[in-house]
């Protein structure tokens, strides 16, 4: 395996436990998830203990310990989305991608997760694909949104 370089995280954010969250965020931005060997290396080269880093990584819902798809789909499960039928769009995403929540398609293109609230409540139900938000979801809008990201 290639040498893992974690110097940029430690140099960029600091070597004490105060920096745990920004370091994990930076790793996740680079890798799309938190690879265990990278986390281990961070602990070796900083003052952050393994138990602390793992504790933080598993507390916050943003952090993922398994790889996400190239296109990360976050379906909003906020109150407004719930009363406006988010459950139907969740079924549509699952059906059209053939995966469940917290899974990734076999080709690695798409992963599905639900999030608490994206704060675009007046366009409910909404979904965030990577960093773009789409509102007014229906099963046909789910189809056209997925098509935009290359789903055939």
Partner 1 sequence: MGKNNGHIRFVVGLGSCGIAAGAKDLYEELAAKMKSHPAATLTHTSCNGMCFKEPILEVFYPDGNHLMLGNIHKKDVDKVLEPLLTQKPVDEKFVIENSLQPDKVESFRLKQHKIVLENCGVIDPDDIAPYLEKGGYTALKKVLTSMTFEQVIEEMKASGLRGRGGAGFPTGMKWQFARNTQSEKKYMICNADEGDPGAFMDRAVLESDPHRVIEGLIIGGYAIGAHYGYIYVRAEYPLAIKRLKIAITQATERNLLGDNILKSDFSFHLKIKEGAGAFVCGEETALIASIEGERGNPRLRPPFPAVSGLWKHPTNINNVETLASVPWIINNGSAAYASYGTAKSKGTKVFSVAGKIAKGGLVEVDMGIPLRDIIYTIGGGTSSGKPFKAVQLGGPSGGCIPERLLDTPVDYESIAATGAIMGSGGMVVMDADTCIVDVAKFFLTFTQKESCGKCTFCRVGTTRLLEILERIAAGKGVMEDLDKLADLSVKVKDLSLCGLGKTAPNPIITTIKYFRDEYEEHIKDKKCRAAVCKDLIDFAVVEKECTGCHACFKNCPVKAISGTAKAVHHIDQKICIKCGMCYEVCKFNAIFKG
Token digits for 95?
């059906």
Site string for partner 1, 103-132 (x = CB under 8 A): ------------xxxxxxxxxx-x-x--xx
The residue whose two tokens read 């990577």 is 130
| CA–CA gap between residue 55 and residue 10 (Å, rounded) | 18
Q: Is 49 left (phi over 0), alpha (psi -120 to 50) or beta?
A: beta
Within 8 A by CB and 6+ apart from 98, the residues are 105
Stretch touching partner 1 by CB under 8 A, among 13-21, 65-73, 101-109, 144-152: 13-21
12 interacts with partner 1 by CB under 8 A: no
Among 15, 17, 70, 151, binds partner 1 (CB under 8 A): 17
State the residues that interact with partner 1 by CB under 8 A.
Answer: 16-22, 24-25, 52, 55-56, 59-63, 77-85, 87-88, 91-92, 94-95, 115-124, 126, 128, 131-135, 138-140
């Amino acid at each position: 395996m290639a040498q893992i370089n974690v110097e940029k995280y430690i140099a960029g954010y600091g070597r004490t436990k105060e920096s745990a969250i920004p370091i994990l965020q930076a790793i996740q931005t680079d890798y799309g998830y938190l690879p265990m060997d990278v986390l281990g290396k961070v602990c070796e080269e900083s003052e952050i203990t393994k138990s602390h880093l793992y504790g933080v990584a598993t507390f916050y819902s943003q952090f993922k310990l398994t790889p996400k798809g190239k296109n990360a789909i976050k379906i909003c499960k906020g109150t407004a989305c719930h009363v406006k039928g988010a459950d139907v769009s969740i079924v549509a995403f699952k059906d059209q991608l053939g995966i469940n929540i917290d899974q990734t398609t076999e080709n690695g293109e798409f992963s599905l997760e639900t999030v608490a609230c994206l704060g675009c409540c007046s366009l409910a139900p909404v979904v965030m694909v990577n960093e773009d938000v789409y509102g007014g979801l229906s099963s046909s809008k789910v189809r056209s949104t997925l098509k935009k990201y290359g789903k055939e």
